[in-house]
């Protein structure tokens, strides 16, 4: 199996666009398409559904994705075990389109000479991320850390407060509000599809709902940001939180 094809598959899945993946990998879009097509031939399945808005993993693609990430981590560990000199600083940002990624980008712009590798771990749980730090797979990670959640030898610092934003459509009762307190959301349906139980985000929203009496609804699959925004814009009842 071609490792670069596996890397390309993961990058397309993370960015949601063949074109964005090409930019990140510094190859042509044609090369990205060719690598993915070759991997699909080897596996005998279709990995992506292409639409006008991008590319989304099929059911087979979603099943393959965590294993593909593990393959890349194993390759990196193997290379790091024999790599001479100083190792590149590897930082997990959880997702490439949220505040931690922007913070790391700002750091790199301020320190352009830093050898930096920005990654996204498949395991979004704080325990799994901490174990990755301890195992040497990454050097640092961004996570919300409950008291007592870190294993021995791992330390945490508060470096970033990421505010939540409420998004509603124009017909929603809260659309004209200039400011809101969390308690104002009580009784409204906060729809955040695809939350996986046992993850940091699931624990966060469970606590948020409990503290402020909110109704956080995770029903349904996550079809991506664009699909969620379309549903919110068309509804007079749905709202979502992003941050």
Of 1.10.1040.10, 3.40.50.300, 2.102.10.10, 3.40.190.290, the CATH number of 165-242 is 3.40.190.290
For residue 89, give the nearest of 113, 118, 111, 69 by alpha carbon: 118
Q: What is the pLDDT of residue 73?
A: 86
Distance CA 115, CA 8 (A): 21
Residues of the chain with pLDDT under 50: none
pLDDT tens digit sequence for 6-32: 999 999 999 999 999 999 999 999 999
Q: What is the DSSP letter of 183?
A: G
Distance CA 240, CA 217 (A): 9
Of 3.40.220.10, 1.10.530.10, 1.10.10.10, 3.40.50.720, the CATH number of 1-84 is 1.10.10.10
Q: What is the pLDDT of residue 242?
A: 82
Q: What is the pLDDT of residue 18?
A: 94
Q: Which CATH architecture has domain 86-162?
A: 3-Layer(aba) Sandwich (3.40)
Sorted by where each begins, the domain ranges of the chain are: 1-84, 86-162, 165-242
Q: What is the pLDDT of residue 113?
A: 84
pLDDT tens digit sequence for 47-90: 999 888 889 999 999 999 999 999 998 888 777 766 656 668 88
Which tokens go with 18? 């063949």
């Amino acid at each position: 199996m071609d490792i670069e094809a596996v890397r390309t598959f993961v990058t397309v899945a993370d960015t949601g666009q063949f074109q964005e993946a090409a930019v990140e990998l510094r190859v042509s879009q044609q090369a990205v398409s060719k690598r993915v097509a070759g991997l699909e031939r080897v596996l005998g399945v279709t990995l992506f559904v292409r639409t006008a808005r991008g590319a989304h993993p099929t059911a087979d693609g979603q099943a393959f994705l965590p294993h593909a990430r593990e393959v890349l981590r194993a390759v990196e560990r193997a290379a790091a075990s024999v790599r001479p000199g100083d190792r590149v600083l590897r930082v997990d940002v959880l997702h490439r389109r949220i505040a931690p990624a922007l913070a790391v980008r700002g750091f790199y712009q301020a320190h352009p000479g830093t050898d930096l590798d920005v990654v996204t771990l498949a395991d979004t749980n704080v325990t799994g991320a901490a174990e990755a730090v301890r195992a040497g797979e990454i050097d640092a990670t961004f996570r919300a850390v409950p008291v007592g959640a870190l294993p021995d030898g791992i330390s945490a610092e508060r470096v970033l407060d990421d505010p939540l934003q409420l998004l509603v459509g124009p017909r929603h009762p809260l659309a004209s509000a200039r400011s809101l307190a969390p308690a104002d959301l009580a009784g409204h349906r906060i729809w955040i599809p695809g939350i996986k139980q046992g993850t940091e985000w699931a624990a966060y929203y469970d606590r948020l709902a409990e503290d402020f009496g909110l109704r956080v609804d995770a029903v349904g699959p996550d079809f991506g940001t664009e699909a969620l925004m379309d549903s919110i814009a068309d509804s007079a009842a749905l709202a979502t939180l992003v941050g």
